[in-house]
Amino acid sequence: MKATDVMQLQSWWMARLKELTDKVNKEEEKRQEKVRRGVDRQLGEYRTFNDVQDAYGCGVISEKKRDRLYDLLERQNVEPDWLYEAKISLLTELYQTAKRIFSENFDAVNRNGDV
């Protein structure tokens, strides 16, 4: 295997890993946006904790509804789910392993002229 072959193979693998990473990120963004839209729909006119507290203080909403709205407001800050984090961790490991392998092979090609 020549140095140009190693570089072409490395470019191909890195492009595939980038495509997979982009796909995983896009899926997570869609999931988070779906959760946010659902929360926004349920919140209605209440956008902040102060809005909810004001409505509760004026007797417009019950304590139970206030607590539910507080929970919804806290859920607006959507955290990545465990599957997303696992996929990103795996892709990071794949990238680091591929980088190490290609670096070793490229060094071997430079020393020996072929692998």
What does the pLDDT look like over 45-66, one tens digit per residue?
A: 888 889 999 998 989 989 999 9
Q: Is the pLDDT of residue 19 over 60?
A: yes
For residue 104, what pLDDT is reported? 80
Q: CA dihedral defined by 69, 70, 71, 76, rounded to 10 degrees?
A: 90
* Mean pLDDT (the chain, rounded): 85
3-state secondary structure 17-78: HHHHHHHHHHHHHHHHHHHHHHHHHHHCCCCCHHHHHHHHHCCCCCHHHHHHHHHHHHHCCC
Question: Domains in the chain: how many in total?
Answer: 1
For the whole model, what pTM was predicted?
0.65
pLDDT value for 1: 63
Q: In this predicted structure, what is the pLDDT of residue 78?
A: 77
Domain holding 24, by residue range, is: 3-112
